[in-house]
Structure 1
Amino acid sequence: MHYVSTRATSASAARNPQRFSDILLGGLAPDGGLYLPADYPQVTGAELDAWRGLSYAELAYEILRKFATDIPDADLKALTSKTYTPEVYRNARADESSEEITPLRVLEDGAQGKLILQGLSNGPTLAFKDMAMQLLGNLFEYALAKNGDELNIFGATSGDTGSAAEYAMRGKRGVKVFMLSPHAKMSAFQTAQMFSLQDPNIFNIAVEGVFDDCQDMVKAVSNDLEFKARHRIGTVNSINWARVVAQVVYYFRGYLKATTSNAQKVSFTVPSGNFGNICAGHIARMMGLPIAKLVVATNENNVLDEFFRTGVYRVRKPSETFHTSSPSMDISKASNFERFVYDLVGRDAERTHALFRKVDTQGGFDLSGAPGSDGDEFKRVAEYGFVSGCSTHEDRLATIREVFDDYDITIDTHTADGIKVAREHIEPGIPMIVLETALAAKFNETILEALGMDAARPAGFENIEALPQRFIVMKPDVALMKAYIAERSGR
């Protein structure tokens, strides 16, 4: 299995595909593109049948070995076995088994269709990001120990990526984490979960701006190839291929648990901001998983919904980006969207590069086929199963109340966005699986507004906001950020 960049326009780049281990510790390709497999591995019906009885760790091994072909099987099996255990994913609700890792719960099963919630919040930081990040931490430690090397992780978070990365990397030999977040724009729980860490290898930087400012700084540093090489800069954002492919596993898991026959199809609804989570669903579908629809659910920052309705991708300015009650989706420039566009335009790297240059220079592109547009590829979106919808603050309040009243389940704000949009696209005979984003406790301010009471918290998180916090505040200045990393990187 080899990997190519979405912007590999030169003959030399095309002739030098990379292995999984070559791209594991990095983020962007040297040309500024994102890595994807040269060809998607295919899954047969016989394999799906054989995988139905596997544990989550065993399933992760079977899927990941198709992508990480240069890691010895025994090592990969040991890594997945170490990662996906009930001890790591122990924060299950009282009526769920942590053995399941990602348990399914049927919410509705009637004439309109079947609505299922897939739990992804049982990890250490109570969010779906743990599903990939815990594996990434073990993969990084494995690769660094093998080469006797060190790594400085530089990432950005709108809420959950940061804590998931820091909890996965804390105490890892040879790893330091520099994590950017938008100052005063995360929930109190998310902020405390990150900033209360006192580990000497963790550095939290609150940026005076929005998430897109943080993400732009990560890309700017990643595109400085000399600085990146000298200071051994890696990333855990979803531009990192290993993180995306680890998320592919729970799509297979959800399908296998929701169906009894490979003749059946399911649909998935995914709360979406940076397009990484649903990009994993796109990859699963390209591998042959029987997915009918991939439903993109956005909040008021509806850039992706606008594209999947109209074919116009229009990035918002920071001043136009709303601060909402589902803050992890307060994103107007979706990094992983480039991976899908690369497939949408027939894996034409030159065209992909030109379109995203236009994003940088003009703020977007238009594939609707209308006069004066940049192309007509939007007509092919249906071939990939994508549809979309958006949700507002009032919508999520209403959905949180409905789910609590009807099923005695307290959902977080992002999952509420997902359920609201899922109901708009549900079909009889095709189960609709909504991917949970996080436990409701991480967004208690809105739960209190919706239900008039606090969300329940797992043991150990009762007074997290009262813990001492360690972070610095910085302007969105790339030069300042580079100086900060250089002073602390050890190089």
Structure 2
Amino acid sequence: MAPDAASRYRSTRGGGEVCDFAQALLNPRPPDGGLYVPEGLPHFGPDELEELHRLSYLQLAERIIAPFIGDALAAGELAGVLARAYRGFEHEEVVRLRALDGGTLHGGPLHLLELFHGPTLAFKDVALQLLGTLLDDILSRQGQRRLILTATSGDTGSAAIEACRNCARLDIAVLFPHERITEFQRRQMTSVQQDNVLCLAVRGDFDDCQNLLKAALGRGEALTGAALMTVNSINWARLMAQVVYYFYAGLRLDQGGGVNFAVPTGNFGNIYAGVLAGRMGLPVRRLLLATNRNDILHRALVGNDYSRVQVQGSVAPSMDISIASNFERLVHFLTDAQTTARLQAEFAESGVLALPDAAWQCARELFASSRWDDDGILQAMQQGQQRYGVVLDPHTAAALAAAQQYGDEHPTAVLATAHPAKFSEALVRAGLGEFTAEADTRLATLRERGERFEVIDPDLDSLQKALGGSSLGGLG
């Protein structure tokens, strides 16, 4: 691999020119409709892994991320960017790794990797706080401004708002499905009263929000007169940031035979960061994918059936998707650009994608997949409290269920992606109502702030009108 291959980016579909990190950050969708991936990945050998094991989270992040950034930042600047990005986290080490009481699976220790200690209590803070800081820094150097347009099924929106609200060079408009997310999730977004923030409730489901987002980005600056971009999980910088916590946990848990990671999965970005970590040298044994009744990923891995179906509401709304936006990166990882372009074109036309058999078999070796309906998730929430003494949100509970089903004699880290306070309704349904006091307190605080949002139809005309009537970057 060339020394700078990790900081040169190409489309998963092979079209267009090579770009650098700043270009991939600011324009995350290549012209051919694919997704950016680096030409190569850095690799850490055994001696380097031992050195990385001794580093703090911020030091580790600097070592992992630096190769992907290249010369987008001057030498020594990345450490300061990381310090600013993570200064608002409640935990000194950004994330928290802890053993579960009595937590062994077939002899292997069970740990919880808590990723929810950021300002909005969700794992997406880890990536988005860094992304916002990088964007503001690079845009300031270039004398530019961006309007961020993003769609959320629950947690991305509030995390993106929190990452951008104090950035001088950024405005943000968030699309979320009207009456399809929890009150807590909605108010985390709509209670923000700053002029560079706009919240739009879309009549429809999350896929309607995603489709509207893609259509708007396709129109680009012609839609509003502002330069548009997105910070959804298709932005490479988010994956880059997520790789770090796999290394942080894996290096602390590995006993010589590798580590399993159980991951609640919706758009496939979080778990794909685990694929990258394994390719970069981390001893990843198996990635345990957990999803809900919206099981396109489970069907793809178990039966090679990646086919679009109607979204069903569930107790774990952040996994309520019909298309996993980062799955294309796995297709490219397992095949090549030409095959990826062909398969994605077929999927766009038919709504069905089947991997070549050899690629599918490789995927089955990387992942163990599981699907959990609402009853199974609620039971896992109960087991978390009764067996391990922890209160879990429904997404993390699905990952715990996957760990219990597939764990072996090796260490397993369950990725805890949200604070349970964000899902008090699910706690009540699981018979854990006595643990909602913190959720009630946090929600009461949000209610005191009031709300500001607009309900729109899922079409470009409605979106354009809402943006034009807003205070974002002088658009109104």
Q: Distance in 2 between matches of 1:155 and 1:2?
A: 25
Identity %: 38
| Secondary structure of 1:4 counterpart | strand
Where does residue 402 of structure 1 map in the other structure? Answer: 383
Give me the whole-angstrom Cα distance separating, in 1, the residues matched to 2:383 and 2:110: 14
Q: 2:353 aligns with which of 365, 369, 375?
A: 365
Deviation at 1:466, TM superposition (A): 4.6
In 1, the alpha carbon distance for the partners of 2:86 and 2:52 equals: 16
Q: Secondary structure at the match of 1:68?
A: helix
Partner of 1:274: 267
Greater alpha carbon shift after TM alignment, 40-49 vs 414-423:
40-49
Q: CA RMSD in A?
A: 1.9
One-letter amino acid of the structure 2 residue matched with residue 339 of structure 1: R
1:218 correspondence with 2:205 = no
Aligned residue among 338, 349, 354 for 1:350:
338
Counterpart of 1:435 in 2: which secondary structure? strand
| TM-score, length basis structure 2 | 0.93
User: Where does residue 372 of structure 1 map in the other structure?
Assistant: none
How do 1:437-456 residues align onto structure 2 when only pairs under 5 Å count?
437-450=417-430, 451-456=432-437
Q: Answer yes or no: is 1:2 the counterpart of 2:2.
A: no
Q: 1:480 matched to which residue of 2?
A: 462
Q: Is the 8 A contact 2:257 2:285 kept in 1?
A: no
Superposition pairs of residues 206-285 of structure 1, within 5 angstroms: 206-225=201-220, 227=222, 230-259=225-254, 263-285=256-278
Do the aligned residues in 2 keep the contact of 1:231 with 1:486 (CA within 8 Å)?
A: no
The structural deviation recorded for 1:469 is: 0.8
1:285 deviation in Å? 1.2
Q: Quick one: distance in 2 between partners of 1:82 and 1:36?
A: 26
Picking from 442, 446, 452, the partner of 1:464 is 446
Matches within 5 A, 1:43-62: 43-62=44-63
TM-score, scaled relative to structure 1: 0.90
> Is 1:155 aligned to 2:150, yes or no?
yes
CA contact (8 A) 1:117 1:436 kept: yes
- Counterparts of 1:98-177 in structure 2, within 5 Å, are 98-107=91-100, 108-109=103-104, 111-177=106-172
Match of 1:434 among 411, 414, 419: 414
Q: CA deviation at 1:407?
A: 2.6
In structure 2, the partner of 1:391 is 372
Unaligned runs of 5+ in 1: 91-97, 370-375
Equivalent residue in structure 1 for 2:395, among 394, 414, 423: 414
Paired residue type of 1:151: R
Deviation at 1:257, TM superposition (A): 1.9
The change in CA–CA distance for 1:73 and 1:104 in structure 2 (over 3 A counts) is same
**Cα shift readout 1:44-73 (whole Å, capped 9, x = no counterpart):** 222211111211111111111011011223
Secondary structure class of the residue paired with 1:237: coil
User: Displacement of 1:258 after TM fit?
Assistant: 1.4
Taking the aligned partners of 1:41 and 1:213, their CA distance within structure 2 comes to: 37
Residues 279-298 of structure 1 mapped to structure 2, 5 A cutoff: 279-298=272-291
Which consecutive residues of structure 2, in runs of 5 or more, have no partner in the other structure?
A: 1-6
Contact 1:3-1:20 at 8 Å conserved across structures: yes
CA distance in 2, matches of 1:486, 1:338: 33
1:233-259 deviations in Å (ceiling 9; x for gaps): 111100111111111110001112213
